[in-house]
């Protein structure tokens, strides 16, 4: 039964996939707002992305 994931690993992978999908969507929004020169939306998207990345960084630091 090599290769089977534990429920904890499945939950971890689900979280990683959710986070990556969310960040990819943010990147797309960021691109669009930059191309369209929508600076307020760009700032807002960047702010939200930074918060998410800081949360990720904190969670990684907690694991170390």
Span 36-64, pLDDT tens digits:
999 999 999 999 999 999 999 998 887 76
Whether the full predicted model's pTM is greater than 0.85, yes or no, is no
Question: Helices 7-35 and 39-63, interaxial angle, to 10°?
Answer: 160
Q: What is the C-alpha separation between 63 and 40, in angstroms, rounded?
A: 35
Mean pLDDT value across residues 23-27: 98
Helix (H, G, I), strand (E, B) or coil at 4: coil
Averaged pLDDT of the chain: 92
Q: For residues 19 and 33, give the distance between their C-alpha atoms in angstroms, rounded to a whole number.
A: 21
């Amino acid at each position: 039964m090599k290769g089977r994931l534990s429920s904890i690993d499945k939950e971890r992978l689900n979280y990683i996939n959710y986070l990556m999908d969310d960040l990819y969507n943010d990147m797309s929004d960021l691109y669009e707002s930059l191309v369209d020169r929508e600076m307020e939306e760009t700032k807002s998207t960047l702010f939200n992305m930074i918060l998410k990345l800081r949360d990720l960084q904190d969670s990684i630091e907690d694991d170390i």
